[in-house]
Homo-oligomer: A and B are copies of this chain.
Amino acid sequence: MTRSAPPSSARTRTGNFFEDFRLGARIVHPTPRTLTDGDCALYIALTGARNPVHCAAPVARAMGYRDRTVDDLLAFHVAFGKTVPDVSLNAVANLGYADLRFLAPCYPGDTIRAESEVIGLRENSNRRSGVVYVRSDAYNQRGEPVLTWARWVMVHKRDPESPAPATVVPSLPELVPAAALTVTAPNPAALVPAITGSTDCWDDYAPGERIDHPSGVTLEEADHMLATRLYQNTARVHFDALAMRQSSFGRRLVYGGHVISLCRALSYDGLENAYAIGAINGGSHTNPTFAGDTLYAITEVRDRWSLPGRTDVGALRLRLIGLKNLAPAELASPTAPDGKPHPNVVLDLDYTVFMPRKSRQ
C-alpha cells in the first residue's frame, strides 16, 4: 500500500503543482547545507576550476577575504538545489532566470539555506500548466543574504480544472547594473599576474572581442551525477536512466548548472583575472547536454564598466557560450541561419565578472 501522507508532507514528496503556488507566498526550503573544504575539493575535481580565490587561501587573504572563498557557482548550485523540491520538481521546463546577484562571499564552514517568494503566476491557455515566477534568496548561518535570483518555470497543474489565479508577470531587469554589484574583495590588486598566470586586466578587454577558450572536456554519467548530488539537487532527470528512457531524450540529462560550471572553468584560460562573479543577468540552456558530449567554451565581451568609487577593480559583462562536440573555431555564430540557437550550442549565459584594473600593478 502506498502511504497516504498528511498534506504537508505530501507536498515535500510530490513537489508543488501550479495550483499550489499563491502569489506572495514565502517558502522556506528544507535541509540547510554546510559547505566545507570537502565540497571545495570535489568542486575542483568535478569542474577543473583553477581560480586562486577559491583554491589558494594565502591569495584570498592577501585580497582581503577572511579565507579562500567557496566558488561562486558551487554556492549558487547548492542554494539553487534547495529550491528544486518545492519549486521545480514538477517543472515542464526551466524557462529562465534573471537578476542573480552575489551579495557576500561564502567561506568553507558556512551554512547555506534558501527561501523563495512567489512573485508571479500565469496559467497557460491550455489550462494544463502555468508559469511560476519566484524570487529566491540564500542566507548564511548568520542570516546574511549571500545570493538572490529570480527564475521562472513552467509547472504542471495537478488538476486542469482547478481555477486559474490572477495573472501577474513581474518586471525583471534585463541586467544587473554596475551600481547594483557588490565588490566583495577589499584588495583585488593582490591578485598579481604571477598568481593567475595572466597580466591581462580589466583595461585590456574590449567590448566586441571574442575569446575561444582552448580546452574541452568530455562528460561522463558518473561525474555529472556526482556533481548534482553534491549540490543536493534531486531533479530526477539527472539520475534515473530507467525513467528517462521513456522521455523524449531517452537518457539522463546533465544538470544545466553543471554545464555552466564546466564552461566557466574552461574559460579560465583567457579570463584568468576574472576572479569573481558579480551577477548573472540571464541565460538559456539552448540544447540538452548528455554524458559523452565534449564541451567547449567561447566568451564574448559585451561591456566594460567602471565601478563607482573604485579605481582598482572593474566589471566586464560577458557572454559565455557553451558548445558541444564542436571546436570553438568552427562556430561562426551561436545562432543558426534560421534564427534558432545553433544545434551545438548548449549554453548562452549573460554574466558579469570582476577584474583588477591596471592601476593595481
Given A6-B204, A212-B3: A31 touches B242 (CB 8 Å cut-off): no
Within the complex, the shortest CB–CB distance from A250 to chain B, in Å, comes to 13
Which chain B positions have C-beta within 8 A of A221?
A: 218, 220, 222
Asked if B223 and A236 sit within 8 Å, CB to CB, the answer is no
Question: Which of A17-25, A52-60, A147-155, A278-286 lines the interface with chain B?
Answer: A52-60
Q: Which residues of B sit under 8 angstroms from A48, Cβ to Cβ?
A: 229, 232, 234, 239
Q: Does A190 contact B (CB under 8 A)?
A: no
The answer to whether A42 and B40 have CB atoms under 8 Å apart is: no
With A32-B52, A45-B42 as given contacts, are A225 and B230 in contact (CB-CB < 8 Å)?
Answer: no
> Please, how many angstroms separate the alpha-carbon atoms of A150 and B252 in the complex?
40
A14 surroundings in chain B (CB, below 8 A)? 214
Measured CA separation A241–B223 after assembly (Å) = 15
Q: Which residue of B lies closest to A85 (CB)?
A: B197
Looking across the interface, which residue of chain B has its beta carbon closest to that of A209? B3
Q: A6-B199, A9-B198, A199-B9 are in contact. Are A57 and B34 (CB under 8 A)?
A: yes
Interface of A is mostly: mixed
By size class, the interface of chain A is 35 or more
Bound form: Cα–Cα A211–B42 in Å: 33
Give A167-221 interface residues, CB cut-off 8 Å to B: 193-200, 204, 209-212, 214-218, 220-221
Question: How far in angstroms is the closest Cβ of chain B from A350?
Answer: 19
CB-CB < 8 A to A44: which residues of B? 229-230, 232
Task: Check B294–A242 contact: CB distance below 8 A.
Answer: yes
Q: Which residues of A contact B (CB under 8 A)?
A: 1-3, 5-6, 8-9, 12-14, 28-34, 36-42, 44-48, 50, 52, 55-59, 68, 85, 108-109, 111, 141, 193-200, 204, 209-212, 214-218, 220-223, 225-227, 229-230, 232, 234, 236, 239-243, 252, 269-270, 272, 292, 294, 325, 327, 329
Q: Given A38-B42, A215-B234, A218-B239, 13 other A-B contacts at CB below 8 A?
A: A2-B212, A8-B193, A9-B198, A34-B55, A34-B56, A36-B37, A37-B37, A41-B41, A215-B236, A216-B240, A218-B240, A218-B252, A222-B222
